[in-house]
Amino acid sequence: MSERTEPVRTVLLRRGEVHSPADPFATAMVVERGQVAWVGSEGAADAFVDGVDEVVDLDGALVTPAFTDAHVHTTATGLALTGLDLSGAPSLEDALGLVREFAAARPRDRVLLGHGWDAARWPGGRPPTRAELDAATGGRPLYLSRIDVHSAVVTTALLDLVPGRVTREDRPLTADDHHTVRAAALAAVTPLQRADAQRAALAHAASLGIGTVHECAGPEISGEDDFTGLLRLAAEEDGPRVVGYWADRDIDRARQLGAVGAAGDLFVDGALGSHTACLHQHYADADHTGIAYLDVDAVAGHVADCTEAGLQAGFHAIGDAAVTTVVEGVRAAAEKLGLARIRAARHRVEHAEMLTPDTVAAFAELGLTASVQPAFDALWGGEDGMYAQRLGAERARTLNPFAALLRAGVPLTFGSDSPVTPLDPWGTVRAAAFHRTPEHRVSVRAAFTAHTRGGWRAVGRDDAGVLVPGAPADYAVWRTGDLVVQAPDDRVARWSTDPRSGTPGLPDLGPGSELPVCLRTVVGGRTVFVRPGE
């Protein structure tokens, strides 16, 4: 790893469009000592030319704050980028064919790793059997996580690495069985492979205009060496910032590892696709209500301990019963420590897909940040999607109520949960603005804010994620079409290009429109990505 040695340069960007509330018509910006120093008009930019190290001619490009992806599994993302990705497999037969090809191409790998299968989208709707996977790999150890990463299918050879600790039933593994085989599979990844995967993931994030990722790690997800190695790599090499969360009830250990919170994927339940999200009522396609990993007392104790230690607490909660458990636990902690202290700590809830009006109101009351993934709705929503299969159409229509959260004043931050869904910030903004359930849609401006400034606020920073003097110089430069402003009244027009609005414009993200292309990403004044040929 190379230490950072080059000084941060003073730069003037001009002849573009700068998305800034400081000046809705700004075309230029000065960056100095890693911060935004000035934002303004083209005419005023002339005064800065002689005092900067570099002048960047934007040639009409758009400059925005860099995105924050508030929920990422960095190593798993890198392994998916460089390994076996089954997310595009249209059928079981195609998936098995990809496994065969991958195994043949990796004769030296101790364990074969893959991700992204989704039997709910395949004809017949069934996952591969162990015998099929054994045949496809020639009897080698294989771990294939489902798209939601809450279950996996494996080969007999991988089970043999954990003898007697995992069921031998021929079905996708969930809960403790899944955690055991995942640990065995990841233990086979060498430190060099891990670092290469982390670099690949961070480089890919930078190429998409992402300046910060929130790493959601934990003892049941990755491992301490993985977590500390990622934080060290991010500190020593230019790239996106990494904010680390360690999902452990041992808050002293979380602090020792360098985490900002004992939070992230501290599981209260599992996921809907794997039938492990915890529900108040039975699944529509299974005779049970999922799995509960933590109860109200455990949540309350963890929140109280984190609050007193000055750390963020946070939980993975998807099903309505799991969300209720979190709310009741946080409320119990507030009764012990006082509501003001709980609110000031900005505790988080990851995913929070199945909300009711009561739990939305409780999030607002308790100051909980909703860390959500709009791409989940794009992928699994709709009348015929996975949500409807698992819950029935009526319950499915209530999921991911982003508009209700914003109306209630709940702090909102967006992420991908990559590799569950890909790193794709503009696609995420579009998914929120064009939610499959119209009543849950939010404006493009609100969605963009949740994916930029919202990510900083989620870690306690209110002075960042926006291009104003004094803010960190984390920004991205984009090639895009005309900029538009969403009209406040949909009866008039969904989009308005009227410059008299005084609101900085954003790209038109309507369905079918081309998404902006990232030309450059800058973090703390340092360029971490330049598109080849630019």
Tens digit of each residue's pLDDT (9 = 90 or more) over 46-75 = 999 999 999 999 999 999 999 999 999 999
Beta strands in 250-379 (DSSP E): 261-262, 312-317, 348-351, 369-372
Residue 299 contacts residue 325 (beta carbons within 8 Å)? yes
pLDDT, tens digit (0-9, with 9 covering 90-100), for 319-342: 999 999 999 999 999 999 999 999
How confident is the model at residue 83, as a pLDDT? 82
Contact 217, 226 (CB under 8 A): yes
Residue ranges of E strands in 158-291: 210-217, 241-246, 261-262
* Cβ contacts of 138 within 8 Å, gap of 6 or more: 103
Cβ neighbourhood burial of 357 (10 Å; 0-12, 13-18, 19+): exposed
- pLDDT tens-digit readout, 264-295: 999 999 999 999 999 999 999 999 999 999 99
Looking only at the bridges linking them, the beta strands covering 495-496 and 483-486 are antiparallel
Q: Please check whether residue 396 is in contact with residue 385, taking contact to mean a CB–CB distance below 8 angstroms.
A: yes
pLDDT at site 4: 52
Task: For 271, list phi and psi in degrees, rounded to 5.
Answer: -135, 155
pLDDT band at residue 502 using 50, 70 and 90 as cut-offs: low
pLDDT category, 444, cuts 50, 70, 90?
very high
Q: pLDDT at residue 2 above 70?
A: no
pLDDT of residue 365: 98
Would you say residue 6 has pLDDT above 70? no
Question: Using CA atoms, how far apart are residues 58 and 520, in angstroms rounded to an integer?
Answer: 10
Calpha distance 13→407 (Å, rounded):
36
pLDDT(494) > 50: no
Task: Answer whether residue 1 shows pLDDT above 70.
Answer: no
Cα(497)–Cα(154) distance, integer angstroms: 53
15 Cβ contact partners less than 8 Å away, ≥ 6 residues apart:
27, 28, 42, 57, 58, 59, 60
Would you say the C-alpha torsion 17, 22, 28, 29 has a positive or negative sign? Answer: negative
Nearest Cα residue to 414 out of 425, 405, 401: 425
CA angle 507/406/445 to nearest 5° reads 10
State residue 7's pLDDT score. 65
Between residues 86 and 493, which one has the greater pLDDT? Answer: 86
d(CA 469, CA 463): 10
Per-residue model confidence (pLDDT) at position 101: 95
Whole-number pLDDT of residue 491: 37
With a pLDDT cut of 70, the percent of the chain lying above it is 96
Question: Is pLDDT of 209 > 80?
Answer: yes
